[in-house]
Amino acid sequence: MERYHYEKACSYRKCGIIGCGNVGATTAYTLMQTGWFSEMVLVDLDMKKAEGEAADIAHGLPFHTPMDIYAGDYSDLADCGLIIITAGAKQKPGDTRMDLLRTNARIFQSIVKNIAIYNQTAILLVVTNPVDVLSYVSFRVSGFPAHRVIGSGTVLDTARLKKLVGTHLGVDSRNVHSFIIGEHGDSELPVWSSANISGVDLAHYCESCGRGYDQAVLDSLFYDVRDSAYKIIEAKGATYFAIAESVKRIVSAILRDENTILPVSALVDGHYGLEGVYMSLPCIVSRAGIRQVLEIPLNEEEETKLRQSAKKLKEAAQWLEENALHT
């Protein structure tokens, strides 16, 4: 019944993007090139900025599939099937993602309330950091069912891990299969216990290609993944190309009803004995949003680290409930 109502009320061919900073504009440009949408509306507190980005992107349309790209306000989101939220304060050099929490939670409370005035049937895709807690804020404030409130989660972190492991082993990164789960941030963790190279156990593959399985080397690769955003921000001020590609991958899973497994941020309710927290676990993503959150096998160390990550996120969400959220 929920799915039928969603399909009747919204258009999968119309997308809204809130926030026209580096991430929002790059995401809009990346999605424009796909040809998936016939209409895209950009919403920003700075209307002039939204108009400029919309015009700049639209001028490239003669090289792509025709569509209508324009700046608008919240009322223009009324019939969007998908609304992507990238608005918020920037992460500055030296800031952790959790440093952004106080400011961005207040921003999000206003954004999500305005969305809900005009549209209560879309899928919300949250990209702004700290993405797990802001996904929780969006879920709480919107009143939407959890399967239609999705965070970009550790999709990008997982891609970064695949790239570094692939380079280390001299193999196509698309053949590397592993996940980073938990917080999209400092307490995230790699799932080495089930990692494989196209079905070949990672340890066995390392031995067979003559490199040997060195946990210290793998841990070093993970630390590079965990800290990569900080390094990029220090070097160029912001990250936006790879996250835009990550958003594109999630959007593809939704629009094409792929039932693809991605480590997006979702409401965890009973998995690993955890409840009431948004964080990344492998999820089946389809046109309905999150079809299912998966409980993949973890070894004892991984499960302990996952619980620690969940505890950190739950404490942040609880602080917001007590001090910032008024719904």
* Per-position b or e across 289-298, b if 16+ CB within 10 A of its CB: bbbebeebeb
Q: How high does pLDDT run on average in the chain?
A: 92
- Domain residue limits, the chain: 2-151, 155-323
Q: Give me the amino acid identity at 42.
A: L
Listed as ranges, residues in the chain with pLDDT below 70 are 1-10, 91-92, 95-99, 324-327
User: What DSSP character marks residue 2?
Assistant: H
What is the distance of C-alpha 105 from the center of its chain? Answer: 16
- Interatomic CA distance for residues 309 and 317, integer angstroms: 13
Q: Is residue 184 annotated as a catalytic residue, yes or no? A: yes
Q: Does residue 157 sit in helix, strand or coil?
A: helix
State the burial class of residue 180 (Cβ atoms within 10 Å of its Cβ: 0-12, 13-18, 19+): buried
Q: Give me the amino acid identity at 218.
A: L
What is the CATH code for 2-151? Answer: 3.40.50.720
Q: Give me the amino acid identity at 47.
A: M
- Give the pLDDT confidence of 184-196 residue by residue, as tens digits: 999 999 999 999 9
Q: What is the pLDDT of residue 11?
A: 77
Q: Are residues 213 and 203 in contact, defined by beta-carbon separation less than 8 angstroms?
A: yes
Instruction: Given CATH 3.90.110.10, say whether it is the number of domain 155-323.
Output: yes
Strands 200-201 and 123-126: unpaired
- Give the pLDDT confidence of 76-124 residue by residue, as tens digits: 999 999 999 999 987 667 766 566 787 889 899 999 999 999 999 999 9
HSE-up (13 A, CA, CB side) for residue 294: 15
Q: What is the pLDDT of residue 1?
A: 30
Tokens of 273: 């004995």
Whether this model's pTM surpasses 0.85: yes
Of 5, 64, 147, 184, catalytic: 184
Q: What is the pLDDT of residue 97?
A: 59
HSE-up (13 A, CA, CB side) for residue 35: 5
